[in-house]
Amino acid sequence: MLYTIIHTIHIFSVFIYGGFLFTDNLFMMKMKQSLSEEEHKKAREAIMIHVRKVVPKALIVAVVTGSYLFTQVFGEIGPDGLSTFQIALSIKAFLGLWLGFRGVNQVFFGIQPWVFKSHLFPFILVIIIIFLSQFMFLDFTSFLAQ
């Protein structure tokens, strides 16, 4: 029961964080095409005032709950080494922890990233995490053996 509750909280927090990145990269950046520079700054800031209250907290919740879920599902390493599931889960965890580390540094310590200052790079990492989530349950060893 605890696992299900934490998993649900994780999914909602990831939706909030990932949803913001999707919205920012696919829609808010396009506002530049139809608004003047001044209007774009005002509109973006009006949205970002509310985003800053919710999204960083959702990211932290996603990292904390994801860390718990990782410990629950990773399993034992078999005699053949890591399974496809464990490899994909490890990559997802690394990318999620990197996003969390970056977010905590920005929000709580005011440390801006040295590279990849836009939201495009985190957006790409979220896309990679989504694809890994879909592929981690496939058994590529039996697929390749055919």
Separation CA 145–CA 44 (nearest Å): 52
111 and 105 Cβ atoms separated by less than 8 Å? yes
Q: How far apart are CA 137 and CA 34, in angstroms?
A: 43
- The set of residues, in sequence order, having a beta carbon less than 8 Å from that of 7 and lying 6+ positions away, is 65, 69
How many Å apart are CA 39 and CA 31, to the nearest integer?
A: 9
- Identify the bridge partners of residue 78 per DSSP, sorted by sequence position: 81
Q: Which amino acid is at 108?
A: F
Biggest distance spanned by C-alpha atoms of the chain? 61
Strands of the chain, DSSP E: none
- Would you state the pLDDT for residue 116? 60
Separation CA 86–CA 132 (nearest Å)? 11
| Coil vs helix vs strand at 146 | coil
Show pLDDT as tens, one digit a residue, over the chain (146 residues). Answer: 999 999 999 999 999 999 999 999 888 888 888 999 899 899 989 998 999 889 989 999 999 999 999 999 998 998 988 888 899 999 999 999 999 988 888 777 877 766 666 788 899 999 999 999 888 877 665 555 55
Distance CA 133, CA 146 (A): 24
Instruction: Provide the whole-model pTM.
Output: 0.83
* Helix (H), strand (E) counts: the chain: 6, 0
